[in-house]
Amino acid sequence: MTALFAGLISGTSADGIDAALVEFDDHGHPSLLTSITHPYPAPLRAHLERAVRAQAFPLAELAVLDAAIADAFGDAADALLTAAGVEAAAVSALGSHGQTLGHYPGGVHGNTLQVGDPNRIAARSGIPVVADFRRADMAVGGQGAPLAPLFHAMVFGSESERRAVLNLGGIANLTILDPGCDISGFDVGPANTLLDGWADRHGHGRYDTGGAFAATGTVDRVLLEELLREPFLAAAPPKSTGREYFNLGWLDVRLGVQHRDPADVQATLAEYTVTTIADALKAYGTGVARVYVCGGGVGNTDLIRRLEARLPMPLASTTELGVDPDFVEAMLFAWLARERINAHSPAGLANVTGAQARAVLGGVWLPPRKL
Ligand SMILES: Nc1ncnc2c1ncn2[C@@H]1O[C@H](COP(=O)(O)OP(=O)(O)O)[C@@H](O)[C@H]1O
Ligand SMILES: [Mg+2]
């Protein structure tokens, strides 16, 4: 029997909630039925930005954000079902990633914090919610990220060639898929997060549309070398990162007081993203026949052009494999919800996240019973 699951995520970029309604066939193969991006209301986005930048804010604000973000996720689920013309009762479960406020892997008490109270989403939608995916992996020593590689293997894997899947979100993550079995994956470094921050600071909006700003600049090789000295890049997987590490504060320390043309810095940041990806593929992607790209960065023409110029293998959007690159992550959370509800094999991938065991990912929140 086919089954419907929905997936909801707002990623590192906090640009809005991507929502996907996914139909799974008898073999568990997913097809994307309907997808929408539901923007955060402007005041909530401003609140969220402040919170993420501040790194320290009152507990009361954290509690309020948890509820406000949940309500925005509830709105997104609502809008998705309306767009699809599907009743809530027809959806088996809703997988919600929530919004990451902080990701601190490693150490004795490493942890990761996603907010968007699942109780509220379940009460609002009337659909069982599966959420809190990352902490189960962290509880057994994993990084809690990336979670996508198993899903990438199922949807994008090939029996005959070695492939890579490159997700260009706020952070870039890379999955290497060998024909047959082996799957590896890790966070490479910043994809869009520094580009977004710098574009915003210099009056180019929340992101550099098409990479037009970067395209007018000249790469500053000295600065690029300085940025490339970042130890995270040379560290061996498993590894994951986020905005609490790669942010404008991080960049400002490296820029120092020297005056630089803002467009040149933007071009250098684009080249930085591309160089870190090329280096990661050189180290871990020997024999990769093709790189399939997904995530919002697919819309950055300048970034894609630079990648094409730099990578030794051809690049293609996941569209070529029949999947909309903007909704791969949302589909992942629909899939994770199904894995959890149907109690399939644990979805955690120890050799990707570094966990000591494969954990069953996600808790289940049932809608409150109506009296
Ligand atoms: N047309 C575009 N031009 C340039 N960048 C884009 C465009 N569309 C999306 N992006 C980039 O993609 C990011 C969102 O990508 P997404 O995959 O949603 O990331 P995340 O998972 O971090 O939210 C935006 O912040 C922006 O940097
Ligand atoms: Mg996003």
Q: What is the pLDDT of residues 238-273, one digit of tens each?
A: 999 999 999 999 999 999 999 999 999 999 999 999
pLDDT at 348: 62
Task: For residue 49, give its domain range.
Answer: 3-142+327-365
Question: Does some domain include residue 371?
Answer: no
Paired tokens of 20 = 């996907």
Give 14 Cα–ligand 1 centroid separation in angstroms.
Answer: 9
Rounded to the nearest 5°, which phi and psi values hold at 8? -135, 130
Nearest CA to ligand 1 atom 5: 300
What does the pLDDT average to over 153-166? 96
Nearest CA to ligand 1 atom 20: 11
Instruction: Assess whether 125 and 18 both reside in one domain.
Output: yes
Q: Which atom of ligand 1 is nearest to the CA of 12?
A: 22
pLDDT at 40: 96
First to last CA, the chain: 31
What does the pLDDT average to over 289-316? 98
The model's pTM is 0.96
Give 192 Cα–ligand 1 centroid separation in angstroms.
Answer: 7
- Among all bound ligands, the one having the nearest atom to the CA of 39 is 2
pLDDT at 256: 94
Q: Output the CA angle 14-18-21, nearest 5 degrees.
A: 160
Question: Does some domain include residue 231?
Answer: yes
Residue range 57-75, pLDDT digits in tens: 889 999 999 999 999 999 9
Question: What lines the ligand 1 site, CB under 6 Å?
Answer: 11-13, 15, 169-170, 192, 195-196, 207-211, 295-297, 299-300, 329
Question: Does some domain include residue 278?
Answer: yes
Nearest CA to ligand 1 atom 21: 11
Task: Among 286, 313, 340, give the residue marking a domain's end.
Answer: 313
Number of domains in the chain: 2
Instruction: Assess whether 208 and 188 both reside in one domain.
Output: yes
Instruction: Evaluate if residue 346 carries a pLDDT over 70.
Output: no
What does the pLDDT average to over 319-324? 97
Say which residue, 180 or 347, is predicted with more confidence. 180
Question: Does some domain include residue 321?
Answer: no
Question: Does some domain include residue 279?
Answer: yes
Instruction: Assess whether 178 and 296 both reside in one domain.
Output: yes
Give 254 Cα–ligand 1 centroid separation in angstroms.
Answer: 24
Instruction: Assess whether 116 and 211 both reside in one domain.
Output: no
Instruction: Assess whether 249 and 296 both reside in one domain.
Output: yes
Residue range 210-247, pLDDT digits in tens: 999 999 999 999 999 999 999 999 999 999 999 999 99
pLDDT at 15: 83
Question: Does some domain include residue 67?
Answer: yes
Nearest CA to ligand 1 atom 24: 296
Give 207 Cα–ligand 2 centroid separation in angstroms.
Answer: 12
Instruction: Assess whether 180 and 299 both reside in one domain.
Output: yes
Residue 61 and residue 67: Cα distance in Å, rounded? 10
Residue range 189-204, pLDDT digits in tens: 999 999 999 999 999 9
DSSP symbols for 86-111: --GGGEEEEEEEEEEEEEE-SSTT-E
Instruction: Evaluate if residue 345 carries a pLDDT over 80.
Output: no
CATH of the domain at 78: 3.30.420.40
Instruction: Assess whether 124 and 153 both reside in one domain.
Output: no
Residue range 101-145, pLDDT digits in tens: 999 998 889 999 999 999 999 999 999 999 999 999 999 999 999
- Among all bound ligands, the one having the nearest atom to the CA of 324 is 1
Question: Does some domain include residue 370?
Answer: no
Give 159 Cα–ligand 2 centroid separation in angstroms.
Answer: 31
Question: Does some domain include residue 319?
Answer: no
**Contacts of 257 by beta carbon, 8 Å cutoff, 6+ apart:** none
Instruction: Assess whether 73 and 205 both reside in one domain.
Output: no
Instruction: Assess whether 207 and 275 both reside in one domain.
Output: yes
Q: Is 66 helix (H, G, I), strand (E, B) or coil?
A: helix
Q: Which atom of ligand 1 is nearest to the CA of 210?
A: 3
What does the pLDDT average to over 278-294? 97
Residue 115 and residue 98: Cα distance in Å, rounded? 5
Nearest CA to ligand 1 atom 9: 296
Give 38 Cα–ligand 1 centroid separation in angstroms.
Answer: 14
Residue range 11-57, pLDDT digits in tens: 988 889 999 999 999 999 999 999 999 999 999 999 998 888 877 78
Nearest CA to ligand 1 atom 10: 296
Nearest CA to ligand 1 atom 23: 11
Give 298 Cα–ligand 1 centroid separation in angstroms.
Answer: 8
Instruction: Assess whether 87 and 154 both reside in one domain.
Output: no
Instruction: Assess whether 70 and 180 both reside in one domain.
Output: no
Instruction: Assess whether 191 and 272 both reside in one domain.
Output: yes
Q: Is 301 helix (H, G, I), strand (E, B) or coil?
A: helix
